[in-house]
Structure 1
Amino acid sequence: MDLKDKAALVTGGGTGIGRAASLALAKKGAVVIANYSRSAADAEETVRLIHSEGGRAIAIQADVSQEQEVRAMVDAAVQHFGTVDLLVNNASITRHIPMEDLESVTGDIWDALFDVNVKGMFYCARAVAPYMKKQQQGAIINLGSIAGQTGLGSSLPYAVSKAAVHGLTKSLARALAPDIRVNCIVPGAVATRWWEGREEQMNLLAPHLPLQRISTPEDIAAMINATLEQEAMTGQIITVDCGQTL
């Protein structure tokens, strides 16, 4: 798929992988809708950076865990650009809880992580699907995590939520075929603000990876673009982790 002039909705588009994906899509000629929940200034900076390079972008606020906010966001995007051709389901949250500390994992934490990380991705996919089906083409990328493959992550509920994202990807790929392709990019450690306060831990990890480096948001964005462009692939779980899971 040629990304030029396609309308791309990127959730969590203000920071980290979301910003890198927004910028990379804009460089391919896509028009970008940078979604944010609370990071308004960051999302507006993403838009400013795209505009400075001659691209087109807007920022739209919505909490993806709230179905009505998602539908309002997609309606606003369609009013601006006529449709939504591409969706990058990037918005995710976590809670840092030692894996062995089961007692700290409350029902509220389970609900919060699944509401954003799993149900939010479903709400966004469902809201854009009619527009993609109308055009008989569209592509969705869900952001998973190696935590969903290894069971080890920032917390037990986070790892389980990302395993659910991988399952959601396969189910949506079946449900939305043949018009809409759905794939999942699975990063390992990525140098984003998620490591804030734990940078030393991140730097200690790098030499032990086969490629001896930590992935950048731009690494993940490049794979997002490549997967959006690949028209012969759906339902795939694609790991980009500098060999972390080898």
Structure 2
Amino acid sequence: MSAGFDGRVAIVTGGGTGIGASVVRMLAERGVRCVVNYASSKDDAEAVAAAAGNGSIAIQADIVEDAACKGLAQAAIDAFGRIDFLVNNAGRTKFANHEDLDALDAEDFVDIYRLNTIAAFQMVRACAPAMREQDASAVVNVASVAGLFGMGSSVAYAASKGALITMTKSLARVLAPKIRVNAVAPGYVGTGWFEKRLGAEGFEKLNQNIASRVPMGFATGPDEIAGPIVHLLDPLSRSITGETTTIDAGGHLDMALTRRPGKEG
């Protein structure tokens, strides 16, 4: 247990599954009490909170709504009397080939942007007053390599994550020195989302394919993202703010992955 973490309180949006669940587990191991936010995955979130074993709680809130963000922050204060950390992990996408400009409409962009970008801002705004009262508060936004390189599941998703990365810099500037704000930009992450849709065999084949294409030779899992998130929250990282950490097993080092097939240079 780290003395820098012990007794602190974190809100993790989308904390019932995938990366969020791994973050909750790692923070709980360090003495952090967590508010595990979920929109619809009640059973998963309650199981994660129970497994934390330190008084962590699961709270339902659709953080697209500003009032729900304020209610979630208040729930943390009511339960624990403080907020030290915020992990903006909740997100959504729509799969659409980037070259198919008719695959997305304005509502797709708005729907994705409201959760991936606006909700993260609303959560920071809701939590900031309580976080300013603590001595080592920090926010980590979960962005994506899509937002860095204009790739990924759709143009709308990439645009929302690019905006989140820019917003991270803006908030880091205005919330200093009381609150640090950083982001992580994962590439592929082998979560249960893929396994449920592909089955165990399909999931294993996907991970093998990803592993063969990245310098580090393995498919990144939720724990490999959660670890750097916890590092950025650590009070010992107090000199780090406004940064975006790429976490993709070195995939970004091969720029061929960001080129269109058949294109040279």
Please indicate the TM-score interval, normalised by the length of the shorter structure.
Answer: over 0.9
Give percent identity, aligned residues only: 38
What does residue 165 of structure 1 align with? Answer: 164
What does residue 242 of structure 1 align with? Answer: 249
Answering whether residue 226 of structure 2 is matched by residue 227 of structure 1, we say no
Answering whether residue 29 of structure 2 is matched by residue 27 of structure 1, we say yes
Contact preservation (8 Å) 2:64, 2:115: yes
**Alpha-carbon shift at residue 62 of structure 1 (Å):** 0.6
Listed as ranges, the matches of 1:171-210 within 5 Å are 171-195=170-194, 196-197=197-198, 199=203, 200-210=205-215
**Alpha-carbon shift at residue 237 of structure 1 (Å):** 0.6
Q: C-alpha offsets along residues 129-187 of structure 1, whole Å, 9 cap, x if unaligned? A: 01111235410000010011111101110011111110010000011011000000111
Contact preservation (8 Å) 2:136, 2:238: no
| Counterpart-to-counterpart distance in 2, 1:14 and 1:133 | 26
**Alpha-carbon shift at residue 202 of structure 1 (Å):** 4.2
What does residue 2 of structure 1 align with? Answer: 4
TM-score when scaled to structure 1? 0.95
**Alpha-carbon shift at residue 241 of structure 1 (Å):** 0.8
| Counterpart-to-counterpart distance in 2, 1:189 and 1:104 | 22
What does residue 127 of structure 2 align with? Answer: 128
Larger radius of gyration: 2
**How many positions carry a matched residue from both structures?**
243
Amino acid at match of 1:238: T
**Alpha-carbon shift at residue 106 of structure 1 (Å):** 1.1
Answering whether residue 221 of structure 2 is matched by residue 216 of structure 1, we say yes
**Alpha-carbon shift at residue 100 of structure 1 (Å):** 1.2
Unaligned stretches of 5+ residues in structure 1: none
Q: C-alpha offsets along residues 92-135 of structure 1, whole Å, 9 cap, x if unaligned? A: 00111111111120111111100000001000001110111123
Amino acid at match of 1:219: E
| Counterpart-to-counterpart distance in 2, 1:213 and 1:80 | 40
| Counterpart-to-counterpart distance in 1, 2:173 and 2:152 | 28
What does residue 156 of structure 1 align with? Answer: 155
Amino acid at match of 1:221: A
What does residue 15 of structure 1 align with? Answer: 17
**Alpha-carbon shift at residue 201 of structure 1 (Å):** 3.9
What does residue 49 of structure 2 align with? Answer: 47
Amino acid at match of 1:244: G
TM-score when scaled to structure 2? 0.89
**Alpha-carbon shift at residue 213 of structure 1 (Å):** 0.7
- Alpha carbons of 1:126 and 1:114: their partners in 2 closer, same or farther (altered >3 Å)? same
Contact preservation (8 Å) 1:145, 1:162: yes
Unaligned stretches of 5+ residues in structure 2: 254-265
